[in-house]
Structures are given as structure tokens and as C-alpha cells.
Structure 1
Amino acid sequence: MRRIIHIHEAILCLGLLLGLGAARADTTLTIGTVNNGDMVRMQALSKVYEDAHPGVRLNWVVLDENTLRQRLTTDITTGGGQFDVITIGAYEAPMWGRQDWLVPLDQMPASYGLDDLMPNVRKQLSAGEHLYALPFYSEGSITFYRKDLFAAKGLSMPEAPTWEQIRGFAQALHDPAHGLYGICLRGKAGWGENMALVTTIVNSFGGRWFDEKWEPQLDSPEWHKAVNFYVDLLGTYGPPGPSSNGFNENLTLFNAGKCGMWVDASVAGAFVTDPSQSQVPDKVGFAKAPSAVTTKGSSWLWTWALAIPASSKQKEAARDFIAWATSREYGQIIAQRHGISAMPPGTRLSTYESEAYLKATPFAKVTLEAIRTADPTSPTLQPVPYTGVQFATIPEFQAVATLVGRLISGALAGNAQVDKVLSTSQSAVRRTMARAGYYGR
């Protein structure tokens, strides 16, 4: 059976290759990617791709999220040419595309199915009339919870919980003496780590990063309420050392049965329900991301995508590879090897039109709703001059949110008071925006 499947995979790859044009022989593609589970699966399929593309070798540089972003930003802005394929997201793609740092990807063959990409996802990766990255997977943030623990305590998770309800559930479930923590949340510093979650909490409490004149709002009542709530919740009912935990660390804790709840990326659904990885695969429930005074911006919207730097010397081969890795055929290979629920989620309409996928995937509908309803053009209760739900699509955001993320992570670790941290953050962000010329606009 394995030999049959392997041959079928090779045929699928070859078919896509014939539609795209053969890559040049004796080509080494250097791929920079993040160490998330779906990308690890993609790396594991290197031989499948290389067998169907004689003469092409894939050289992987797999890094944690923070390190990857630093490496890629340095390389792309300097034209270093270290990478032929890069894993970027909805933040970088439109900005780097406008700077002509990325190869436009509008001219894909009909067999690829550009029209099958979710409109909300394709829009995130575009600037003007051009698409600058192909989506590998997309996600919203949702609530994962242990159905068995809720039942044992007589608790009922609403379809759309509030943060106050989540706090009450965390208190009821918290049992550190037996290695169970009420809630696991991102605490690791990083604009795409703890600040992705914190920004959605701030949004739900009615806050925003900047007002219409680009004045930072980090010292506002909404930020103080949101961040104090977050630090108290995670510090009181979370695992030890939460300031060291990002997506991957919390996924490990949840799969080990250590978390009563977890609010994070919907893409984790395929891993928490996988019996080969999770100790609680049949005990997980799914709900919307929590809200507070508003649901606007309470669930983030993110796409991990593959793009080609303009500095690559292997553009044709790189295009063939990213077309394969983001294709419908690739999804079928994953389904055959790991089960249909493991297909990269959130990118293609056809995935969610499949009755087989919807029936087999308990997190499919909540994922789809989170992606469809997130609105990067109107992410907050009050008006803002930026787009993006859990980030602001401006070049300065990466630096300012990284700084604020470190300060908030320090408060979570007990090194500073939240109110002092936010006052310091306000001043630092305003200085950065002033130097960048925002107040003369």
C-alpha cells in the first residue's frame, strides 16, 4: 500500500510540474521557513518533490518565528540573496511587494486555481493589482478546551465566550497540584508571538494601537484594562514560566493534557486532534475567540505564505516549488499521509466545500468563520489609520511591537508593573513614530 501511495504522490507532483514548466536541472533552492508543524511536514516531503523534479535539491533553513523574521527582514531589505523561497505572512507580503522586493505571482496556470483561494486570504497577500505570495495555510484565533474536564466540573463552553467567562472557567479548572493549568496562552516576547494575542485582547476591550493621527494609545484605559487582565489571568491560572511559552510550547503543553483551555491559532486543530501527537485527541472542543466589550478584532487573521525574493537567482525553479507546496495536489498528499484533517487549512474554498473534510474535521467550521469574519480594514471598535487585526501594516510596527512585547513579557514574569510598562511603551513608540515622520503627515 505504501508503494502505491508513493507512486501516486509522484504522479501528482509530475502532473503539476507538467502544468508549470520544468525547473532547471542542477538547481539548489534555499528555503527559509518557520518551525511550525505544517512546515515540518512540508520539509519531510522533500524527497517526493525532488524525485519528481530531477536535478533540483531543496536546502531548508528552519528557524523559530522570531529568528526567521529577523533573518528574512535583513536579507530582503539588503538584497542579500540568501534565500530562493521565503515563508512570510500577511504583514510582510504587501509591504515588501510594494518595494519590488518580491516576485509578482499573478501569472499562474489555470490548473493552479487562483480563483479557488479564499478572497480574504488572497487580499492579505496582495498590493495594488499584484499577488506577492501564495498561501500555505491561514488561520484565525479560536478557543480550544477540554470537553471532558468541562463535563466533570459541570461547565458549559458558549459558542462565543467572553474573556470574563474564560477567567471563571480557568479558575474552576486550575489544579496545579495534579499538573493541570486552567489556561495556556502565549507569553513569549515577539510581535508575532505574545503581541498577536495581546493585540486581540486589547481590540476586544475596545482599544487600538494608534488613533487617526498616529498617536500611540498604549497608555489608554483600554490597554491598561486589557493587559492587566491578561497578566493576571495567565499569571494566576497559567503554567509556570508562561513568559517562555509561545505557540509551539503551548501546543506541547496542551497535547500533554496540561491545559484546560488554550486560545491560539486555529491551525493547531490538526495537531491537538491527532492521536499520534496528542494525549487528548478526542477530548478537545472548539469555540470562537473570546471577546469583551466588542467582538471586533477579537480573533486574529494570519496567513503563512511562500514568496520569492527578487534577489533569488532561481526564480523559475522557486515558482515551481511554491506552486506545488500550495496546490490542491499537495493537500491530497498530506491527506493520504496524515489524514484529511491535516490538510493545510484556511486557504482554498474547495477544501471547505468538501463534505468529507467537514465531516472529518471538528474545527473546520469555527476556523472558516474566524477567517471569513475577520476584517483587517476595520479591526477595532474605534477608527484607526492602519489595516491589520493583530498588527498594523506599517514598516515600523515590527520594531515597536517587538519592544512592547518584551516589556509585557517582563511584566508577566514579575519584573515590572503593567502600568509602568505601558507608560514606558507609550513614550518609546511615540519617539519611533516621530522619528519616522508620522506627525508631519
Structure 2
Amino acid sequence: MRLRTWLLGAASVLAFGGIAGAETITIATVNNGDMIRMQALSEEFTKENPDIELEWVILEENVLRQRVTTDIATQGGQYDVMTIGTYEVPIWGKQNWLLPLDGLTSDAAYDVDDLLPPIRNGLTVDGKLYAAPFYGESSMTMYRTDLFEEAGLEMPEAPTWDFIAEAARKITDKDKEIYGICLRGKAGWGENMAFLSAMANSFGARWFDEEWRPQFDQPAWKETLDFYINLMNEAGPPGASSNGFNENLALFQTGKCAMWIDATVAASFVTNPKESQVAEKVGFALAPDKGLGKRGNWLWAWSLAIPAGTQKAEAAERFIGWATSKEYLELVAEKEGWANVPPGTRTSLYENPEYQAAAPFAQITLDSINAADPNNPTVDPVPYVGVQFVAIPEFQGIGTSVGQQFSAALAGQVSVDQALQNAQQVTTREMTRAGYIK
């Protein structure tokens, strides 16, 4: 009994001995692979910063968004570091809900000028950086080279939606559980609506006209949603209305998908032999287009920001500086290989010969990020900024409501026409209530 008591006492010293005088910061982040790796590697940060303890809150994407939005809007103070995206940063920065990262931008070693301009611009308000990008992304087409070869197909570098649909239907073999295409169906403004908004741009659709009138009653949205749902019904996996990024990643890694059009950040996970059964059989192409001058690729960064209500800003900024630094990329490369470093944030990464050699997707990721144009996202003019979202505060609620309608249509619970009619009604009501529509 004495030995057990001593061991418990020793455990208590180990658990709490380092905490005396230390400051604990709480980090809210998304359950994506890169962030889970960041948590695993964070002991390197605490070794270098013994005066800071880290507490992690890791959540599914839709839940994270809901929690951090509620917390920051109510000044709840639950989190000291928040993982937020290119949608939230400019809106929250203008509302003074975030602290500018002046310590990083003035630190020559951090090298803020090395951040890729499209990514940095999306996180900057009135000349100040309000979040540091952990990884940046666009979207692209990932495909199984072996299945394409067996089907006698060759993926173009810049495919059309018609080619994608034809190939998906040809390759699908439901008896073998091989589906021609996997696409997001899970409801959420950052889940199915991220994909569908970018896809709709390439079909000539838009969320709003120049007078902020919703456009779901226009032919381009009908064409987009018909195309998507018919394709998924004929060549997609069962239960697709529940599949978001992580679910489709798992399907692709286990050999169930011939094609997946999604975030460029997925490339390192589908080509990692430790995680993917098809790692040696993956090719990459640009996101598809419809011949109207816009590709279905988006622009996004998952970034680390400091809510204005924190009492621990200095410690929070120190952690953000570590997690988004060149040195962090080198740490991941040392532990996991260059192909697995968080992509899409720094020019120097794409100039690094070791990264170029290890990551066959590097150039197409960079090209896709640079090609996305948030200021001119659609074929016809629009009053908003944003490719796969509309950069207004109301979009989070509206986008999720519309996403629920479209997910229900994919599940066969409502028709395409009814889903579009419902989307038009809910969006018109909310935009009128918010004063955009007079």
C-alpha cells in the first residue's frame, strides 16, 4: 500500500510539477489530420516554453464553428486560440472580436512576407494580420490511376464536369463497392455548401445578384443541383448525404472512390502509405469546369487567431508563432516526411526542392490557390467576396440552412425543385430581415 501511495504521489508531481507558475492556454481546433498532428507535436513547444501549458479542445468541423462563434460573439472567454477560417477572419477582425498579430508581423524571424499572398490577403483587415495560416488550400480532382487505366480512360489536366460524370459512371462497380465519385453531402455552410457553391460558380450560378436577391430560382442552380444529385445517385457511395471531408477521405483511402473532388490539403493523406491503401495509385488534376471560364475550385485557410476576450494574449501569440512557423514545417518534415507538412501557406515551401520532390501534388496545389479569385468568383457580377462562401455575417446561418435542403435532396427526402424553392424562400427571408433586400 505504501508503494502504491508513493507512486500516486509521484504521478501527481509529474502531472502538476510543471504547472506551478505556468499559464494554461486553451486551443480550440478541428479534427482534421494536420491539427491532430499539431497536437501530437506540441510537446516540442512546451519543452521550449515551460511557462505555458496547453489544453486542447478538438471538435468536428460543424461543431467547432458553432462553439467558437457562440463563444466569441458572447465574449465567453473559453478559448485563447481559435482555429477559424478565411470566412470568419475579415468579419470578426472588423468587429474587433480578434486581436491583431502585431508581434508576429514585426518579428523578422517569423517572416510574414513569406506567407502566400492570396492566403495572407484573406486574413488581413485594414493592413493588419488577424490570423496566421496553419494550412492553406484550394480544391482539385484526386483520382485512382489504376482504375482509370483499367477503364481505358485518361484524366485531362484540366477536366470538364461532363468528362468527370462520364468517367464516374463508367468506373462505378457497386457490387465491388467501387464508386466512381465521392463528393461532400453532409449539411453545413463549410461542408456540402463549400463544395456546391464552388461547383455552382463553374455552372454560371451565384448566390445573389447585384441587388442581393437570392438566385436559387434561376436555371443555373437547377442545372448544378440536378447534375450533382444525378451523378451521386448513379456513381456515388450509399449514405452520401452524411459524408463530409473526413468521411470521404476515409472512403478514398480504403479504395472505395475512383474520384474525389475536394480540398488540396487531402493530397498528403491519400498518398501516405501509412494511412492510405491506394497511396501509390493516386493522380491529381484541376477542379472541373463547365466551359464558362470559372473552375470549381475554392480558396481557404484554416488559421489560428486570438479572441479579443483572452487574458493570455502573449502566450497565445507565442503558440501561434510556433505552430505556423517555417520551423514547424521542418519539424513535421523531420518526423513525418516533407510530403506531410501543412501545405499552402509559405512561398518558401514551394521553392524547397525537397518538398517538390516529395509532394507530387505541390505544383497543382499552388496553381489552384493562385487561380482562385474571391473578388470575382462567378461568371456574372456579384456584390460579394468569397468563392465557396459569401463574406457577410449572415452567411453562416443561411449557408447551413440551404445546405440542409440540398442534403435532404441528395438523401431523396425532397425533390431538387422543392429544395431550391425552400432555399430561395429561407435566403430571401433572412436577407430581407438583415436589410440587404429593401
Both proteins in one fold, TM over 0.5: yes
Return the match for 1:60 from 56, 59, 63.
56
**8 Å contact from structure 2 (residues 179, 236) kept in 1:** yes
Residue equivalent to 2:7: none
What are the ranges of 5 or more consecutive residues in structure 1 without an aligned counterpart?
1-23
RMSD of aligned C-alpha atoms?
1.2
Residue equivalent to 1:360: 358
Does residue 1:293 correspond to 2:328, yes or no?
A: no
Deviation for aligned residue 1:105: 1.1
Return the match for 2:99 from 96, 103, 106.
103
Instruction: Give the partner amino acid of 2:333.
Output: A
**8 Å contact from structure 2 (residues 136, 301) kept in 1:** yes
SS of residue in 1 equivalent to 2:200: helix
* Structure 1 Cα separation of the partners of residues 331 and 292 of structure 2: 40
Instruction: Give the partner amino acid of 1:286.
Output: F
Deviation for aligned residue 1:157: 0.2
Residue equivalent to 2:301: 303
Question: How many aligned residue pairs are there?
Answer: 418
* Structure 1 Cα separation of the partners of residues 88 and 298 of structure 2: 16
**8 Å contact from structure 1 (residues 25, 54) kept in 2:** no
Residue equivalent to 1:205: 203
* Structure 1 Cα separation of the partners of residues 54 and 42 of structure 2: 7
Does residue 1:386 correspond to 2:384, yes or no?
A: yes
Deviation for aligned residue 1:152: 1.1
Residue equivalent to 1:228: 226
- 1:10-159 paired onto structure 2 within 5 Å: 25-108=21-104, 109-159=107-157
* Structure 1 Cα separation of the partners of residues 323 and 21 of structure 2: 19
* Structure 2 Cα separation of the partners of residues 163 and 401 of structure 1: 24
**8 Å contact from structure 1 (residues 207, 222) kept in 2:** yes
Return the match for 1:319 from 312, 317, 338.
317
Runs (4+) of structure 1 exceeding 4 A deviation are none
Residue equivalent to 1:191: 189
Instruction: Give the partner amino acid of 1:227.
Output: L
Residue equivalent to 1:373: 371
| Distance change in 2, residues 1:223/1:51 (3 Å) | same
Residue equivalent to 1:279: 277
Does residue 1:167 correspond to 2:165, yes or no?
A: yes
* Structure 2 Cα separation of the partners of residues 103 and 258 of structure 1: 44
Deviation for aligned residue 1:179: 1.4
Residue deviations 1:364-405, cap 9 Å, x none? Answer: 111000001111000000000000000000001111110000
* Structure 2 Cα separation of the partners of residues 164 and 282 of structure 1: 27
* Structure 2 Cα separation of the partners of residues 47 and 122 of structure 1: 27
Identity %: 56
Return the match for 2:411 from 406, 413, 434.
413
Residue deviations 1:106-163, cap 9 Å, x none? Answer: 3421000000000110000111111100000000110000001111111000001011
* Structure 2 Cα separation of the partners of residues 103 and 422 of structure 1: 39
SS of residue in 2 equivalent to 1:292: coil
**8 Å contact from structure 1 (residues 297, 390) kept in 2:** no
**8 Å contact from structure 1 (residues 103, 132) kept in 2:** yes
Deviation for aligned residue 1:25: 4.5
| Distance change in 2, residues 1:190/1:383 (3 Å) | same
Residue equivalent to 1:14: none
Residue equivalent to 1:437: 435
**8 Å contact from structure 2 (residues 131, 303) kept in 1:** yes
Residue equivalent to 2:337: 339
SS of residue in 2 equivalent to 1:438: coil
Instruction: Give the partner amino acid of 2:300.
Output: W
TM-score normalised by structure 2 residue count: 0.94
Residue equivalent to 1:6: none
SS of residue in 2 equivalent to 1:287: strand
* Structure 1 Cα separation of the partners of residues 135 and 295 of structure 2: 20
* Structure 2 Cα separation of the partners of residues 43 and 25 of structure 1: 22
* Structure 1 Cα separation of the partners of residues 417 and 177 of structure 2: 31
* Structure 2 Cα separation of the partners of residues 341 and 88 of structure 1: 24
**8 Å contact from structure 2 (residues 103, 317) kept in 1:** no
Instruction: Give the partner amino acid of 2:94.
Output: R
* Structure 2 Cα separation of the partners of residues 103 and 181 of structure 1: 46
SS of residue in 1 equivalent to 2:221: helix
Deviation for aligned residue 1:51: 1.4
Residue deviations 1:275-331, cap 9 Å, x none? Answer: 000001110000000111324252011100000000011100000000000000000
SS of residue in 1 equivalent to 2:136: strand
Residue deviations 1:20-47, cap 9 Å, x none? Answer: xxxx951111000000000000011121
Deviation for aligned residue 1:55: 2.8
What are the ranges of 5 or more consecutive residues in structure 2 without an aligned counterpart?
1-19
TM-score normalised by structure 1 residue count: 0.93
* Structure 2 Cα separation of the partners of residues 233 and 81 of structure 1: 45
Residue equivalent to 2:16: none
* Structure 2 Cα separation of the partners of residues 25 and 225 of structure 1: 61
* Structure 1 Cα separation of the partners of residues 375 and 316 of structure 2: 31
